[in-house]
Amino acid sequence: MKFITLDTIVNDILSIVRGSIVSQSEPISKRQIEDWINQYRSILLKRDLDKGKYPNPDFIQEIPFVELEEVPVEGDTLASGYSGYTFTGSNVLRTKLSIPKPIDFNFKNGFTFIGKPDGTELQIVPEHRARWQQYKKYTSSEQLVYHKNDHLYVTNAGLSDLSHLYIRGIFEIPSEVGRFVNPATDIAYFNESSKYPVPANLVPAIKEFILSKELQIETSAPSDTKNDDAHGVAQNVER
């Protein structure tokens, strides 16, 4: 099944640019175009989802294996225990790698699922609520997740042998998912040839924004390129 990749969108834009006169003193790099694609994707997604629409599955990326490590809680002191080092207060687990920044929507964040490998979902809450959870009578042992400084933290770490998380979300820069590798195949979860997380109907709008707003190129419907019987057509491109 054919799908849209980041590389395809970049090359489509470059093809139009190469046939145009662009008022730029420096050559346009693929990296710059990738940045523009990510920016306008975020703008269009936020515009639609802030209206209360249900997230299209094409927006969502998966990171099935996000490794965790135990860290001290800020303000707590490190103490030596019978099984190595333990922390006074509630231990916390933190993702070893920083998590791609989720898009912030009205009244919600861009995470659509954070859970354990067995599919058990963990509730994501503000940090202050996670810290006060230990003082609640009936739910003090509940494991919660909070997001801080580009990492996810899991409370009550000592109550399970949790080693990694399963995450789904809508991220500002999809390529950052490529920092995470499938431990079974040693292949990154995202590269330029992976499916780009955007519905096909939004791709023309992203291209149009980049061409018109960033490069000052106007496109119109295809027209006959030669005065012959072949009816060959090409995109009309003007500055």
Taking only the tens place, the pLDDT of each residue in 170-200 is 999 999 999 999 999 999 999 988 999 999 9
For the chain, what is the mean pLDDT?
A: 80
Q: Report pLDDT digits (tens) over 58-112.
A: 999 999 999 999 888 765 443 433 333 333 445 789 999 999 999 988 877 899 9
At 190, give phi and psi (nearest 5°).
-155, 140
> Domain range holding 9?
1-58+197-239
70/148 same-domain check: yes
Cα–Cα distance, 94 to 62 (Å, whole number): 18
Torsion sign over Cα 216, 221, 222, 227: negative
Q: Are 77 and 186 within one domain? A: yes
Instruction: Indicate if 128 and 168 belong to the same structural domain.
Output: yes
pLDDT tens-digit map of 115-166: 998 889 999 988 887 777 666 666 666 888 999 999 999 987 665 678 999 9
**Cα gap 201→192, rounded to integer Å:** 20
| Total domains in the fold of the chain | 2
Supply the pLDDT for residue 109.
Answer: 84
Residues 105 and 18 placed together within one structural domain of the fold: no
Q: 184 and 82, same structural domain?
A: yes
The answer to whether residues 75 and 186 belong to one domain is yes
Residues 30 and 46 in one domain: yes
- Closest alpha carbon to 204 in 173, 235, 178, 233: 235
Q: For residue 10, count CB atoms less than 10 angstroms from its CB and return exposed for 0-12, middle for 13-18, buried for 19 or more.
A: buried
38 and 70 inside one domain: no
Clarify whether residues 155 and 185 are in a common domain: yes
Distance CA 193, CA 191 (A): 5
Tell me what pLDDT residue 158 has: 62
52 and 151, same domain (yes or no): no
Asked if residue 88 lies in contact with residue 77, where contact means CB atoms within 8 angstroms, the answer is yes
Same domain, 71 and 117: yes
Shared-domain flag, residues 78 and 165: yes
pTM: 0.78
- Average pLDDT for 39-54: 88
**DSSP state letters, 184-221:** TTTEES--TTSBPSS-GGGHHHHHHHIIIIIS--EE--
